[in-house]
Structure 1
Amino acid sequence: MGYKVAVVGATGNVGREMLEILAERGFPADEVLAVASRRSQGTEVSYGDKTLKVKALETVDFSQYDICLMSAGGAISKEWSPKIGAAGCVVIDNSSAWRMDPDVPLIVPEVNADAVAGFAKKNIIANPNCSTAQLVVALKPLHERATIKRVVVATYQSVSGAGKDAMDELFSQTRAIFVNDPVEPQKFPKRIAFNLIPQIDVFMEDGFTKEEWKMTAETKKILDPKIKLTATCVRVPVFVSHSEAVNIEFENPISADEARSILREAPGCLVVDKHEPGGYVTPYEATGEDATYISRIREDITVENGLSMWIVADNLRKGAALNAVQIAEVLVNRGLIGDRAAA
């Protein structure tokens, strides 16, 4: 017997990706329910070779479901995740609403799968920020080998991280520039087409943006509270996949060759690192792929025990939908939830 899974936010970029990945990976589901707001009720979405009709969130009896993949935004999650969890359905939430709650595990399966057992306190598990997820997948095996002291990261984040409207804005602005029409920013604070915006989320009192704070706080919670991390997060005119230029300082010596060898064996990582033109991965090539790609691994001679590298991953997959499905797989494979049909 299989599990009953509800996908909340099924009409959004990440929700559609969740449905696709559930089908791709053959998740053991007897039933998959597509859920969204009332205005989307009746909309059709794809699940493998099937078509699902969207149900309104308020009409669903979650006591009949085992797992809820939640991708409907922080405000909806704050209201609904506790209700769904109280009904006996485990929520795997993609928003920032629960990430720093001490009673909610923040999980990247390749990094801290054992922490998932803490979900029982609230029946909620949090997915990290997309830029954090790919970063910690690459940092974890290196931290185990040489102990990371400090990380400096600059991100190059695609517009899909800001939703479908943001993708539409990049497309419409690009077209407007080619035909010499006026360009008026709506989703972003400045023009995004043929431009870079060094602001993601709101500014905080210390001058960092909330996105930059998330990367710091989440890395500490997932990987190690002793790691010091500073980030500069930049939105770039790319539709899908986030890139990161990362500088790491270790307590113990580690060479570029050793790091390359470790990362080649690490779960979720794929090293493409040839010292020649094109011998690295770009966002275009990572789109639609599950791996976290690592390139440009080299020793940083400005600090003792330092490395620099380039990390790229599909933010809609590893940064969101894939990670959520992988968490659901951990719950099933470790026997942490029983399917309702068998009960």
Structure 2
Amino acid sequence: MSATLDIAVVGATGTLGRALLEVLGDSRFPVGKLYPLASERAAAEGDTVTFRRHDLSVGDAEGFDFAKVQLVLLAVPAALADGLAADATEAGAAVLDLSAAQRHNPALVLADLNGNGPAAGQRVVCPDGLSLALATLLDGLAPAGVEMADITALLPVSAHGRAAMDELAGQTTALFNLSETTTQVFDRRMAFNLLPASLAEHQRQHADISRLLGSPAVGISLNLATAPLFFGATLALTLRGSAVSLDAVRTVWAANTLIRLEDDAAALSPADAASRPDLTVAGLQQQGSQLCAWVAFDPVRWAALHALRLSARTLAALHQPA
């Protein structure tokens, strides 16, 4: 019999939790039993999720016996993550934490692009989708003459969770009906608008990227804004360096199976990128001592796909011969 893992997806009714269920369900990952878990309220209301064409009832994460599973995928708000992670590791489960609770804690392992998944009884922290995408794009570019990367990122509301998506939908409907809009997640109207990130958000994101990349050979300048898109992000990317080489950069990216190159920027679509397993880089061109390109991907899906890769490494490690 082939090796399988029994898995709990905690936060299964949220945006990231649903993305985890989708990529896990679409893959050939050998899942034994799957337990979708969420808040007591979601469980009490009888919420269900779909996994590999089966409707599964959502259980209460607080009362769950984590000894039933070997792997826990934790996709909950930061305030809830530490307690649930402690319960799971004490029960002997491997925990992959996709929350932001401990991303800056040097005592915990941060799972980079080539990192291992968690071992039994261990908590490993997963970087956010934007940091993972930038690490993928910048990996190996220093030998191609790249010294600095200037990035403007237009992020979807799904990066802020399910409540943000509901708010955008409600505001859009209200505006079409000539009604007043309400705001709760964002401090200003999101529909038909563009909201630059605060200084604190820029600092948090830069800290996340810096920890993931360590001491990068390529410097990073980052500007963030949230766009009125449900899914799919767009990056305007400029690579600078006194000896930057278009051919060398193209060669590096062409060798990376996680990157898809398109010559024409008109082929770029954040909506299409939301369902793809790779980063789409389009319209790469040289302008003097700099290169310019557009990039499309979905940060929520990208984090979920990284979690799937790490889960496969956990599976392999747990079933290694003694």
| Deviation readout 1:101-149 (Å, 9 max, x if unpaired) | 22323234xx3x1x327x5597112221222121211111424x33653
Match of 2:213 among 223, 227, 234: 223
Match of 2:106 in 1: 102
Cα separation, partners in 2 of 1:300 and 1:336, compared to 1, 3 Å: farther
Match of 1:27 in 2: 29
Match of 1:175 in 2: 173
Match of 2:318 in 1: 337
The number of residues matched between the two structures is: 317
1:40 equivalent to 2:42? Answer yes
Cα separation, partners in 2 of 1:147 and 1:8, compared to 1, 3 Å: farther
| Deviation readout 1:232-274 (Å, 9 max, x if unpaired) | 1101111101111122334x73422332232122021111122
TM-score if structure 1 supplies the norm length? Answer: 0.85
Q: Provide the C-alpha distance between the structure 2 equivalents of 1:217 and 1:269, rounded to a whole number of angstroms.
A: 24
Q: Provide the C-alpha distance between the structure 2 equivalents of 1:148 and 1:257, rounded to a whole number of angstroms.
A: 12
Q: Provide the C-alpha distance between the structure 2 equivalents of 1:148 and 1:90, rounded to a whole number of angstroms.
A: 38
- Report the aligned-residue RMSD: 2.3
Aligned partner of residue 263 in structure 1, secondary structure: helix
Task: Determine if contact 2:89/2:120 at 8 Å carries over to the other structure.
Answer: no
Match of 2:61 among 50, 57, 63: 57
Q: Provide the C-alpha distance between the structure 1 equivalents of 2:133 and 2:232, rounded to a whole number of angstroms.
A: 10
Identity %: 26
Residue correspondence of structure 1 range 1-343 to structure 2 within 5 A: 1-41=3-43, 42-108=46-112, 111=113, 113=114, 115-116=115-116, 119=118, 123-143=122-142, 145-146=143-144, 148-199=146-197, 203=198, 208-210=199-201, 212-226=202-216, 227-250=218-241, 253-274=243-264, 278=266, 280-301=267-288, 304=289, 306-318=290-302, 320-332=303-315, 335-338=316-319
TM-score if structure 2 supplies the norm length? Answer: 0.90
Aligned partner of residue 83 in structure 2, secondary structure: helix
Task: Determine if contact 1:134/1:312 at 8 Å carries over to the other structure.
Answer: no
Structure 2 runs not aligned, ≥5 long: none
Cα separation, partners in 2 of 1:103 and 1:149, compared to 1, 3 Å: farther
